[in-house]
């Protein structure tokens, strides 16, 4: 079970980074194209703050989520090792979850 949690956390972190990077590039490319095509200084003044806010949000999620999932993966590994490598398995039967000790 530990490996599936660690794998899921790694997947979440990489997906968050990839989505944040993709949206960051799309937003900034759209803003740059709009600013160059319109050549309107008022448009830049109106939208620069909003684009900057979106950029900060995307950088925060693109860096923060992978950082937090890495910390969570390390925590899962340390906690699992502190129990002597004994894993806990979950089985579902008739709508009820049953915890079972696996390994040692």
Q: Which residue has the tokens 């490996």?
A: 3
| pLDDT reported for residue 102 | 63
Can you tell me the distance from the alpha carbon of 3 to that of 69, in angstroms, rounded to the nearest whole number? Answer: 14
pLDDT at 5: 87
Residue 32 confidence (pLDDT):
94
Percent of the chain surpassing pLDDT 90: 57
Q: Work out the number of other CB atoms within 10 angstroms of the CB of residue 19.
A: 14
Q: List the structure tokens of 30.
A: 């759209």
Q: Phi and psi of 20, rounded to 5°? A: -60, -45
Total number of domains in the chain: 1
Residue 33's domain comprises: 2-102
Q: pTM above 0.75?
A: no
62: nearest Cα among 21, 27, 8, 94:
21
């Amino acid at each position: 079970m530990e490996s599936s949690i660690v794998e899921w956390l790694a997947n979440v972190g990489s997906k968050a980074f990839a989505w944040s990077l993709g949206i960051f590039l799309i937003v900034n490319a759209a803003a740059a194209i709009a600013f160059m095509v319109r050549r309107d200084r008022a448009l830049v003044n109106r939208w620069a703050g909003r684009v900057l806010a979106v950029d900060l949000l995307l950088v925060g999620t693109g860096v923060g989520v992978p950082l937090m999932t890495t910390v969570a993966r390390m925590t899962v590994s340390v906690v699992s090792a502190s129990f002597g490598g004994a894993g806990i398995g979950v089985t579902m039967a008739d709508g009820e979850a049953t915890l079972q000790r696996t390994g040692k």
